[in-house]
Amino acid sequence: MAATTPLLTLKIDVDTFRGTQLGVGNLVRMLGAHRANATFLFSLGPDHTGWALRRALRPGFFSKVARTSVVEHYGLKTLMYGTLLPGPDIGRRCADELRAVRDAGFECGIHTWDHVLWQDNVATRDAAWTEAMMRKAARRHVEVFGAEAHTHGAAGWQMNAAAFAEHDAAGYRYASDGRVPLDERGALRDPASGPHRLVAGGRALRCVQLPTTLPTLDELLGRDIDGKTITVDNVAEHLLALTAECRRDHVYTLHAELEGQKLAPVFERLLHGWRAQGYQLAAMGDYYEKIKGTDLPTVPLGWGELPGRSGRLIMQGGMP
């Protein structure tokens, strides 16, 4: 394609055992049918999704649960893993499913070892805890794929300075661990947001960050935006309006538990729509190849909040 063709980078977070078993294969088939590239980022250790219920006191948690039908999308059994049921080891029990993604030609990388444990703790943990978690995931990646990982996308967009430093230690050239500021509609607040390098722990890091630039489905569904309630029937139209208004390189994060299952028809409409808008549907590696060698900004590690999502996230241009 022409050099001016914008990229719509598809970053697929796989959070759960169920998502790995059911959603991943569905996404591989959909992407293949649309000749779309994408990056799959896997949770490689135990599924302790049930532990997430401890977030019940967090502002915005119950409103999100009500808006996005968590039980419907994740399944009651998944919500009991780590509490009433033991958490299944995803990397061990789903190794064949993971390798099938690689064998289908898609880029694979690390999401996390234990999704809930990482998301709920990493922001306040020390370097030893952080490195141990990341290296467990890295070892499991080698066990499953027979090769070291080369990219990462943080669970829940949660990191700390030691985690970013570990990217450089592991030799990652690029990762997608954070977000950019969005307004209530989900449009970019700062058009200059995008690929950058971080200053964390007092030093500039080599690994390039490719932040998510669009809202996710669970951040939009059920909210009132521009005088209408966003539903499964119009959420694709809303996202496509954002990418039509701001025609540039984007990173969209989707989930095997959502777009790979109940919300697959929404994702089909997005794939058709982005093709019609002239986007190249790309993997993270494609995006990195496009921008490597360019003069990227270096920004401090920061945090911020987004409409439709509870808690603080790694944010380009956010507060320390």
What is the three-class DSSP state of 91? Answer: helix
Q: Read off the pLDDT of residues 181-218 as tens digits, 9 standing for 90 and up.
A: 999 999 999 999 999 999 998 999 999 999 999 999 99
Looking at residue 1, what is its pLDDT?
38
Displacement of CA 61 from its chain's centroid (Å): 19
Looking at residue 174, what is its pLDDT?
98
Looking at residue 143, what is its pLDDT?
98
Looking at residue 102, what is its pLDDT?
98
Predicted TM-score (pTM) of the model is 0.92
Name beta bridge partners: 313.
Answer: 304
Question: CB–CB of 243/8 below 8 Å?
Answer: yes
What is the three-class DSSP state of 314? Answer: strand
d(CA 138, CA 119): 17
Tally Cβ neighbours within 10 Å of residue 204.
12
Strand ranges in 185-227 using DSSP code E only, listed in sequence order: 196-200, 203-209, 224-225
Specify the DSSP class assigned to residue 86. Answer: P
In order of their start, the domains of the chain are 7-314 (3.20.20.370)
- Rounded to the nearest 5 degrees, what angle is found at the Cα of 51, between the Cα atoms of 49 and 56? 110
Looking at residue 50, what is its pLDDT?
83
Looking at residue 313, what is its pLDDT?
98
Residue 187 phi, psi (nearest 5): -85, 155
Structure tokens at 19: 């998502």
Amino acid identity of residue 102, one-letter, is: R
213: closest CA among 237, 192, 197?
192
Structure tokens at 255: 């989930």
Question: CB–CB of 109/151 below 8 Å?
Answer: yes
Residue 74 phi, psi (nearest 5): -100, -25
Looking at residue 65, what is its pLDDT?
47
Question: CB–CB of 163/130 below 8 Å?
Answer: yes
**pLDDT tens sequence for the chain (320 residues):** 345 899 999 999 999 999 999 999 999 999 999 999 999 999 999 998 885 665 544 454 444 444 456 656 565 665 655 665 568 999 999 999 999 999 999 999 999 999 999 999 999 999 999 999 999 999 999 999 999 999 999 999 999 999 999 999 999 999 999 999 999 999 999 999 999 999 998 999 999 999 999 999 999 999 999 999 999 999 999 999 999 999 999 999 999 999 999 999 999 999 999 999 999 999 999 999 999 999 999 999 999 999 999 999 999 999 99
Looking at residue 251, what is its pLDDT?
98
- Rounded to the nearest 5 degrees, what angle is found at the Cα of 135, between the Cα atoms of 134 and 137? 70
Looking at residue 87, what is its pLDDT?
80
